[in-house]
Amino acid sequence: MEISIRELQESELPAADRVFRLAFGTFIGLPDPIQFGGDASFIESRWYVDPSVAFAAIADGVIGSNLAIRWGSCAFFGPLSVHPDWWNRKIAQRLIEPVVECFNAWNIQQAGLFTFPSSPKHHALYQKFGFWQQFLTVIMAKPVQQSQPVPQVLRYSQMDREQQSSILKESFALTDNIYPGLDLSSEIIAVYTQKLGDSVFFGDEKGLAGFAVCHCGAGTEAGSDTCYVKFGAVRLGQNVGERFEQLLDLCEALSVQQGMLRLMAGVNTSRHEAYRRMLERGFRTEITGVAMHRPNQPGYNRPDIFVLDDWR
């Protein structure tokens, strides 16, 4: 049967979601593969950010999909999935090709992905496109400590348009200092417009000190009873570790306000001090992946960086 690669259509989102769950659930050996991911949702919210960079493999319907995500000068792709009945036919490779074309057209300075650390097959596939393994990324979670005092939370959803415009500029200035051109504006806006959760901010005498973009609950990338930090960062410089602790406090406070029971976040283990502090606060690893980079450079995965994210 002839296979075509084209843009994923809105009407095909349920089919793409089903293939995604079946593919990943089968690969990791779930008794019922379709239950992979529970009530979390990964494809739909990413599609709505930019449908033109969401791609589908079509035979008799959707048999695979892949989505590109751009954060300014940085980008990654996923989830990449192919129906198990169509494995080993180079469909995944064909789904990567248009995404890499997007990266090239955008002049992306640091591209990446998150994959299984123990799968040479996946590593070899991505190496064909210039992606190389670097450090592990761990997805960690902890129970929310609802008995703790809740600090003041400055939320994007509670700002007026002028304040929102200003905080987007401040957020970019913060991330641009971490890695030139790194910009989370699209994620902040997506969470707000799609009502996926909220973005939280805190400042000090020097201005914006840190922020986090969070998904909350079922139907988002978090899943039921969970606040998931899609991205979080604090300003570089003196006392950066203490600012990181404040950011984690802020995310936990949002979790309490949203009625969530767990706080989840990813951290690349090259950011050793950030990883260590999360362990000390009771975070425990639930998922381990490896970050693959194109080009094979650290990007913003460096020991001096205090960033929460993962490239799933």
CA dihedral 45, 160, 149, 248 (to 10 degrees): 50
Calpha distance 141→226 (Å, rounded): 9
Q: Which residue from 309, 282, 307 is spatially nearest to 145, judged by alpha carbons?
A: 282
Residue spans per domain, the chain: 4-108, 141-309
- In three state form, how does the secondary structure of 120-140 look? HHHHHHHHCCCCEEEEEEEEE
Report which residue type is found at 262: R
- For the chain, the straight-line distance linking the first and the last C-alpha, in angstroms and rounded, comes to 30
Torsion of CA 262, 268, 274, 276, to 10 degrees: 80
Note the pLDDT tens digit of each residue in 127-178: 999 999 999 999 999 999 866 666 678 999 999 999 999 999 999 999 999 9
Per-residue pLDDT at 153:
80
Instruction: Tell me the CATH class for 4-108.
Output: alpha beta
pTM beyond 0.75: the answer is: yes
Predicted confidence pLDDT, tens digits, the chain (312 residues): 899 999 999 999 999 999 999 999 999 999 999 999 999 999 999 999 999 999 999 999 999 999 999 999 999 999 999 999 999 999 999 999 999 999 999 999 999 999 999 999 999 999 999 999 999 999 999 999 866 666 678 999 999 999 999 999 999 999 999 999 999 999 999 999 999 999 999 999 999 999 999 999 999 999 999 999 999 999 999 999 999 999 999 999 999 999 999 999 999 999 999 999 999 999 999 999 999 999 999 999 999 999 999 999
Tens-digit pLDDT profile for residues 27-50: 999 999 999 999 999 999 999 999
Specify the CATH superfamily of domain 141-309: Gcn5-related N-acetyltransferase (GNAT) (3.40.630.30)
CATH topology match: 4-108 vs 141-309: yes
